A and B are shown apart, each in its own frame.
Chain A
């Protein structure tokens, strides 16, 4: 980025401190955070969950959840301190001068009102546009600005008629309705697919450039920040540990935490580590041929799987990538027999499902879930959760099961004494380890991992990936590793299969698929991955070796 001339500061945050009632240990969720934002500037807030980045954003406009209070510091918007402003005065600032975009575009729009109505409401909120026709014209202009095609016709549409990515576009249009000076985007792309994420990030950058709106982007993903922001703050435990120009911080991180964070981010350029970990056996363990699955009635059938062919060898990691709705999870659930496919066949150890193969597979093919929160029964102790598959398959008596549970907990790197605690006492990463221990309990030979790390912070993600690699090495497991993050998939997989609209469009050695994709969709996916070195010049000169 070229050095820009000094501009007037629109937002100056000094020593901002937020505490939650009931925080007995006296810690603050946000602890002395300070930054300045010039007009037209872009600033990224990056950090892992619990680092206080979202709380910081909400504190700017006094929108903290119940129990949260600003206990110190100032938030100056053009010289006026928002931290001490009464609620009524704040309302004039919200949306008018500082606007926000949230993570979940599915629930942030009112489903019963048309998009036009919602835009109209945002435009009317501050009473600056009394004329209805003028507002309607402005609404069309806004939708045009965020790149919704046929904007004038779509005003009458309801949110469900837009795709997830388009809804986020509409959210941004809503945020821009009153020409806010500052746009705060809190994890704006976390719920979206990479190709859509790229569109949104481009849109944010374009809006910043064209309208001069200062941009604050909050994300756990350093790649997202690198693509959109000139400056960044790295947050940890409510404090800013490092700040500076994005390129400088990424090139030469000073704080050990930033270094650690950067090291944990999987790089798409890094070659696969799977070959060093284990050597796949020659005989296929699991063979899928022409698998089909349709949902719904015959007249309105939705095809989730449209003739999937797949082979998994013992000791192999097969990465399965694709965007949401491509059928990845449907395939995983068919393999663990959670539902019956509509057509095609699955063979396990050479035996067809339905002809004896399914019985062995029921014990030997196990599933690791994406969400470490909802996949563990909150009413059961960890010991019972892990013992459940043992009880179901009648493996061992009570003392034998207790021994096995302790062994499994140790195997996944947890304290064997944690068996009598409940899942809520554990962090996300620890819960994922519990989920893996449960899957390992009946001694499977195939582990289906359905987005096992996408709900985890990068540093925790690296630990769980290490754990999976070690388990594969020690137990000779075959892994079907489903994920949307290509960098992670390349790192862990021997082979990669790319799934698109219920079909496998490309399969090949991991490094080859990433460096020399054969299918245009694979190339599109690869192009959408946010890279850490976002400088356009650097991108063009430094092609993948």
Chain B
């Protein structure tokens, strides 16, 4: 059938292109995600103002329930849980917001490298396969076995886990876009291969990466949680959401309030990022 041209409202083309991501975010889904992540991030940043307790200071009251002094109660060593959770958020977000861009940039660079030559493509693809062949936790164990537990292994594992995801996403985008006629037009117009790739193909292939970033952030939070839970992550006494959860497991039956706060925050963060990713995805598909 002929192309059906549903009368589209005449709008500035520039605004329409720019705002596809924004339009996606400004839906109920996107706003909920933003609100969740925003509230948690803000709480983490304002931690010193929101609570007067040192997250590492031990008190005489161990495993106390919520009270005026300790709104979320205390942990097994008598430390204020609210303070620990709030400071844990900062550690978590700093790790993921630091590691995800590193992974994303490395993955994208490798994808661009792969686009230059057939052999480079094969090499990069097999390298991605190698990383993907290890389940996330095995990778985490391997890295920690070499470097020992700590902040950097978590950072490296998050970045490493994201590299093939970003790399493959961008590679497939490039493969599609470079067969489009405008890429041929640019080449016929005299542009070099690098120029066609960077100026013409790449800008058209990055859309899905915005979505991928939001997914990656949620995965980052998840990986931190899992590694700290297993004792491979950031070393105590520094609080992270995962390590507080790990501590609380032993008391789950007797003191369920201990686990409630870190669990809720981790869930909300992952949910928030996922909602944002989903909203962005719907935005660019429209």
* B-binding residues in A (CB < 8 A): 20, 22-25, 27, 29, 49-50, 53-55, 57-58, 65, 67-68, 102-103, 186-187, 190, 218, 220, 333, 336-338, 362-363, 366-367, 369, 371, 374-380, 388-389, 391-393, 421-425, 435, 438, 441-442
In the complex, which residue of chain A has the Cβ closest to the Cβ of B7? A23
Q: Would A425 and B203 count as touching, CB distance under 8 A?
A: no
Q: A49-B2, A58-B1, A103-B1 are in contact. Are A375 and B181 (CB under 8 A)?
A: yes
| Contact of A389 with B190 at beta-carbon distance under 8 Å, contacts A57-B1, A369-B185, A375-B185 already known | yes
Q: Does B254 contact A (CB under 8 A)?
A: no
Is A376 a contact of B6 with CB atoms below 8 Å?
Answer: no
What are the residues of chain B within 8 A of A337 when measuring CB–CB? 188
In the assembled complex, how far is the CB of residue B164 from the closest CB belonging to chain A, in whole angstroms?
Answer: 26
Interfacial chain B residues near A424, Cβ < 8 Å: 13, 16-17
Contact check, B13 vs A422: say whether CB atoms are below 8 A apart: yes
Residues A377 and B182 in contact, CB atoms below 8 Å apart: yes
A25: nearest chain-B partner, CB-CB: B7
Kindly state the separation between the CA atoms of A68 and B192 in the bound complex, as whole angstroms: 45
Chain B CB within 10 Å — which of A103, A377, A438 has the most? Answer: A377
Q: Are B190 and A27 in contact (CB under 8 A)?
A: no
Q: Is the CB of A338 within 8 A of B187?
A: yes
Give B1-21 as 1s and 0s: 1 = Cβ < 8 Å from A's Cβ atoms.
111111111001110110000
**Docked pose: A388 CA to B14 CA in angstroms:** 19
Kindly list chain B residues whose C-beta atoms are within 8 Å of the C-beta of A24. 9
* Smallest Cβ-Cβ distance to A51: which chain B residue: B2
- The winner among B3, B5, B192 for most chain A CB atoms within 10 A is B5
Residue of B nearest to A381 (CB): B14
Partner of B188, one of A22, A190, A367: A367
Do B180 and A374 touch (CB < 8 A)? yes
CB pair A392–B13 under 8 Å, yes or no, is: no
Q: Contacts A379-B17, A379-B203: A438 and B185 contacting too (C-beta < 8 A)?
A: yes
Could you tell me how many residues of chain B have their Cβ less than 8 Å away from some Cβ of chain A? 31
Provide 13 A-B residue pairs closer than 8 Å at the C-beta atoms, listed in order of the A residue: A25-B9, A53-B2, A68-B6, A362-B190, A377-B186, A377-B200, A377-B203, A379-B17, A380-B200, A388-B199, A392-B189, A421-B13, A442-B190
Q: Does B137 touch A at the CB level, under 8 Å?
A: no
Q: Given the complex, which residues of B lie within 8 Å of A65, measured CB to CB?
A: 4, 6
Please pick, from A49, A102, A391, the residue contacting B3 in the complex, using a CB distance under 8 A: A49
Could you say which residues of chain A place their CB within 8 Å of the CB of B12?
425
Chain B, residue nearest A67 (CB): B6
B175: chain A residues at CB < 8 Å are: none
Alpha-carbon separation in the docked complex, A57 to B4 (Å): 11
A430 to chain B, nearest CB (A): 12
**Candidates A102, A392, A435; contact of B192 at CB < 8 Å:** A392
Residues of B whose CB lies within 8 Å of any CB of A are 1-9, 12-14, 16-17, 180-182, 184-192, 195, 199-200, 203-204
A141 to B66, CA, bound (A): 81
Query: Which residue, of B16, B182, B187, B189, has the highest number of chain A Cβ atoms within 10 A?
Result: B189
Query: Contacts A338-B184, A376-B182 given: A187-B190 contact, CB under 8 Å?
Result: no
Are A374 and B1 also in contact (CB < 8 A) when A379-B17, A388-B186 are? no
B residues near A27, Cβ cutoff 8 Å:
7
Shortest Cβ distance from B202 into A: residue: A379
B118 CB to nearest A CB, Å: 15
Number of A-B contacts (CB under 8 A): 113
* Shortest Cβ distance from A395 into B: residue: B190
CB atoms of A371 and B195 under 8 A apart: no
In the complex, the answer to whether B204 meets A377 with C-beta atoms within 8 Å is yes
* Distance of A365 from chain B, by nearest CB (Å): 9
- Which residues of B lie under 8 Å from residue A362 when comparing CB positions? 190
Contact with A442, one of B3, B9, B187, B189 (Cβ below 8 angstroms): B189
Nearest A residue to B180, CB-CB: A374
Q: With A and B bound together, what is the CA distance between A27 and B181 in angstroms?
A: 34
Q: A29-B4, A367-B185, A442-B190 are in contact. List 19 more A-B contacts (CB 8 A).
A: A22-B6, A24-B9, A25-B9, A50-B5, A54-B2, A65-B6, A68-B6, A338-B184, A338-B187, A338-B188, A369-B181, A371-B181, A374-B181, A375-B185, A392-B186, A392-B190, A393-B190, A422-B14, A424-B16
Bound CA–CA A48/B204 (angstroms): 31
Q: How far is the CA of A371 from the CA of B190 in the complex (A)?
A: 20
Residue of B7, B192, B199 with highest tally of chain A CB at under 10 A: B7
- Neighbouring A residues of B16 by C-beta, 8 Å: 424
A376: chain B residues at CB < 8 Å are 182, 185
The interface residues of chain B lying within 8 Å CB-to-CB of A423 are 13
What chain A residues lie within 8 Å of B188 (beta carbons)? 336-338, 366-367
User: Measured between alpha carbons, how far is A68 from B4 in the docked complex, in Å?
Assistant: 11
CA distance A374 to B12 in the complex (A): 20
Give the 4 A-B CB pairs with smallest separation, nearest first: A389-B189, A392-B190, A422-B13, A375-B181
Contact of A422 with B17 at beta-carbon distance under 8 Å, contacts A367-B185, A392-B189 already known: yes
Kindly list chain A residues whose C-beta atoms are within 8 Å of the C-beta of B17. Answer: 378-379, 422, 424
Complex contact B204–A378 (CB within 8 A)? yes
Set of chain B residues within 8 Å of A57, measured between Cβ atoms: 1
A532 to B14, CA, bound (A): 43
Instruction: Kindly list chain B residues whose C-beta atoms are within 8 Å of the C-beta of A55.
Output: 4
Query: B200 near A438 (CB under 8 angstroms)?
Result: no
Note all chain A residues with C-beta closer than 8 A to B195: 392
Least Cβ–Cβ distance between B2 and chain A, in angstroms: 5
Residues of the B chain whose Cβ atoms lie less than 8 Å from the Cβ of A58: 1, 4
Residue of A nearest to B5 (CB): A50
- Closest Cβ of chain A to B284, distance in Å, is 13
Q: Flag if B182 contacts A186 (CB, 8 Å).
A: no
For the complex, give the distance between the alpha carbons of A376 and B180 in Å. 9
CB distance from A333 to the nearest CB of B (A): 8
Inter-chain CA distance A102–B4, complex, in Å, is 13
- With A369-B181, A389-B189, A392-B192 as contacts: A29 and B1 at CB distance below 8 Å: no
Which residues from chain B contact A389 at a C-beta distance below 8 Å? Answer: 189-191
Q: In the assembled complex, how far is the CB of residue A371 from the closest CB belonging to chain B, in whole angstroms?
A: 6
Distance, CA A380 to CA B13, complexed state (A): 11
Q: Which residues of B contact A371 (CB under 8 A)?
A: 181
A150 → B minimal CB distance (Å) = 31
Select A366's contact among B2, B8, B189, beta carbons within 8 Å.
Answer: B189
